[in-house]
Amino acid sequence: MQQVAEKVRPKIDLGEFKTARAVVLLSGGLDSAVTTWIAKRECIELYALTILYGQRHKKEVECAKELAKELGVVEHKVLELPLGELTESSLLGNREIPTNGLEEGIPSTWVPQRNAIFLALAFSWAEVVGADKVYIGVNAVDYSGYPDCRPEFVSSMDNALNLASKRFVEGGPGIQIVAPIISLPKNRIVELGLRLGVPFSSTWSCYSGGARACGSCDSCRIRRRAFLDCGVEDPIEYEN
Amino acid sequence: MQQVAEKVRPKIDLGEFKTARAVVLLSGGLDSAVTTWIAKRECIELYALTILYGQRHKKEVECAKELAKELGVVEHKVLELPLGELTESSLLGNREIPTNGLEEGIPSTWVPQRNAIFLALAFSWAEVVGADKVYIGVNAVDYSGYPDCRPEFVSSMDNALNLASKRFVEGGPGIQIVAPIISLPKNRIVELGLRLGVPFSSTWSCYSGGARACGSCDSCRIRRRAFLDCGVEDPIEYEN
d(CA A218, CA A220): 6
| pLDDT at position A4 over 60 | no
The answer to whether B115 contacts A156, with C-beta atoms less than 8 Å apart, is no
- A147 and B164: CB-CB below 8 Å? yes
- Asked whether residue A3 carries a pLDDT value surpassing 60, the answer given is no
Q: What is the value of pTM for the model shown?
A: 0.91
Give the distance from residue A74's alpha carbon to the nearest chain B alpha carbon, in angstroms. Answer: 14
Predicted pLDDT of residue B4: 45
Q: Which residues of A touch B170 (CB under 8 A)?
A: 105-106
**What's the domain range around B24?**
2-230
What are the helix (H) ranges across chain A? 2-8, 30-42, 59-71, 114-129, 151-163, 166-169, 186-196, 218-230
Flag whether B33 is in a domain: yes
Of B105, B120, B148, which is closest to A113 when you measure between CB atoms? B120
* pLDDT beneath 70, residues of chain B: 1-16, 94, 102-103, 143
Quote the number of domains for chain A.
1
- Cβ-based interface (< 8 Å): residues of A facing B: 49, 77, 79-83, 85-88, 105-106, 110-117, 120-121, 123-125, 127-128, 147-148, 150, 152-153, 156-157, 159-161, 163-166, 168-170
**Alpha-carbon gap, residue A156 to B66, rounded angstroms:** 37
Residue A232: per-residue pLDDT: 96
Question: A49–B82: do the CB atoms touch at under 8 Å?
Answer: no
Give the chain B residue nearest A107 (alpha carbons). B166
Classify residue A88: in a domain, yes or no: yes
- How far is the alpha carbon of A35 from chain B, nearest alpha carbon, in Å? 21
pLDDT of residue A90: 82
Q: On the CB side of B196, how many CA atoms lie within 13 Å of its CA?
A: 22
Torsion of CA A54, A59, A61, A64, to 10 degrees: -160
Mean pLDDT of chain A: 89
- Residue A236 falls inside a structural domain: no
Q: Is A92 exposed, middle or buried (0-12, 13-18, 19+ CB in 10 A)?
A: buried
* A189 assigned to some structural domain: yes
pLDDT beyond 90 at A27: yes
Q: What is the CATH number of the domain that holds B143?
A: 3.40.50.620
Q: How far apart are CA A64 and CA B154, in angstroms?
A: 33
Q: How far apart are CA A70 and CA A203, in angstroms?
A: 12
Residue B240 located in a structural domain: no
Mean pLDDT of A57-61: 87
- The CA-to-CA distance between both ends of chain B, in Å, stands at 67
Separation CA B27–CA B23 (nearest Å):
13
Domain presence at residue B114? yes
Work out the pLDDT band at A2, boundaries 50, 70, 90: very low
Please give the residue of chain A at the shortest CA–CA distance from B127: A112
Provide the pLDDT for residue B205.
93
Length of chain B, in residues: 240
Residue A10 domain flag: no
Q: What local confidence, expressed as pLDDT, does residue B10 receive? A: 53
Averaged pLDDT for residues A37-52: 96
Name the nearest CA neighbour of B64 among B10, B26, B102: B26
Q: Which residues of B touch A (CB under 8 A)?
A: 49, 77, 79-83, 85-88, 105-106, 110-117, 120-121, 123-125, 127-128, 147-148, 150, 152-153, 156-157, 159-161, 163-166, 169-170
